[in-house]
Structure 1
Amino acid sequence: MQVSVTGHHVDVTDSLRNYVEEKISKLKRHFDNVTDIHVILTVEKLQQQAEATVQVSGAKLFAEDTQEDMYAAIDNMVDKLDRQIIKHKEKMNSHR
């Protein structure tokens, strides 16, 4: 699994990068076929936004969240991705 973290109007520090990688690593517990993850962290005035695109076995999943705190935005974004990955896995396994 390849994780890339970029920042738009924000410097991505080591602690922020480690936090994102730690949270993203939890996605592998539900689905092993996650190949590529691209995370973009954006700051616009008082709004902190985190968005991610995940390449999963032939499909692309996208999630974003905006909060006043960057860490809260990352947490909510990972939760959204987690739900999407579970739903994608169930779709793949529910063949009639």
Structure 2
Amino acid sequence: MNLHITGLNVDVGDALRQRIAAKMERVNRHSSGIISVQFTLSADKHQHKAAAQIHLAGKDLHVEAVENEMQAAIDVLMDKIDRAVLQHKEKSQNVR
């Protein structure tokens, strides 16, 4: 799994990179079909936005989260990614 993290108006330090990588391992347990993930972290005056483009085998997903703090935005984003990947996995298993 390729993991790319980009910051817009945000300094993406080692702590944020490690936090995202650790949380992505949880998501990766549910589906081994994740090819690459592109994270974009951005900050406005009072809102922090975390977005992810997930490239799965056969499908691309886009997930976003907006919160008051970057850590909270990342946590909400990871929960949304987890649900989306599980939903895709269940749909692909039902087709077979």
Q: Distance in 1 between matches of 2:24 and 2:47?
A: 22
TM-score (norm 2): 0.96
Residue 59 of structure 2 is aligned to residue 59 of structure 1: yes
Q: What code does the residue aligned with 1:43 have? A: A
Q: Distance in 2 between matches of 1:24 and 1:50?
A: 14
State the 1:95 CA deviation.
Answer: 2.2
Identical aligned residues as a percent: 35
TM-score (norm 1): 0.96
State the 1:29 CA deviation.
Answer: 1.0
User: Partner of 2:5 in structure 1?
Assistant: 5
Aligned residues: 96
RMSD: 0.9
Stretches of 4+ moved more than 3 A in 1?
none
| 1:1-96 correspondence to structure 2 within 5 Å | 1-95=1-95
Contiguous gaps of at least 5 residues in structure 2:
none
- Alignment partner of 2:95: what SS? coil
